[in-house]
Structure formats: C-alpha cells, structure tokens
Amino acid sequence: MTTHRATDIVIDRCVCQRFLFSRLLPLVAEHGWSLHDIKQATGCGDQCGLCEPYLSRMLDTGETIFHEILEAQG
C-alpha cells in the first residue's frame, strides 16, 4: 500500500454513501463486521472503492480520520 502525506488532507467518510467513519466504527464493534460485512450493510467501499483502504485501516487501527491518501493494494 502506498501512502502520501499532506497536512491539509482530511478524509473522514465514504464519499459515495456520505457515511462518516466515526459513525461506522461503533457499528463495526457492535456487529463484529468485516470489510465484506461493511460493504453489504452500508454500501461503503462497494461503489467507487476509494474508501476501501481507509475502511481496512479503520478495522486494523480504529482510526476514523485520515490525513494521508491511501492507495488500494493490488
């Protein structure tokens, strides 16, 4: 995964669904969702896919606000 840092970048939501990661994280904890489950339940990460690396990191670290551009693996 490649990352690019910039101080003025703030990524905090799925753009397609307008779903804040900070709203999503408690649902993940409550339901034990995986990335696949998030996609199915909310549509986040299932359209343009730009938020998928952020969702993956959120699941790994609990972060909900990102100040860097993450590129999908692959």
Kindly list the domain boundaries of the chain, sorted by start residue: 3-70
- Structure tokens given for 63: 């972060």
Considering only CA atoms, give the Rg of the chain: 12
Average pLDDT over residues 6-20: 90
Per-residue pLDDT tens for 16-48? Answer: 999 999 999 999 999 999 999 999 999 999 999
What is the C-alpha separation between 58 and 18, in angstroms, rounded?
A: 16
pTM, two decimal places: 0.86
The residues that bridge with 4 in the sheet, in sequence order, are 69
Which CATH number fits the domain 3-70, given the four candidates 3.40.1350, 2.60.120, 1.10.10, 1.20.1300?
1.10.10
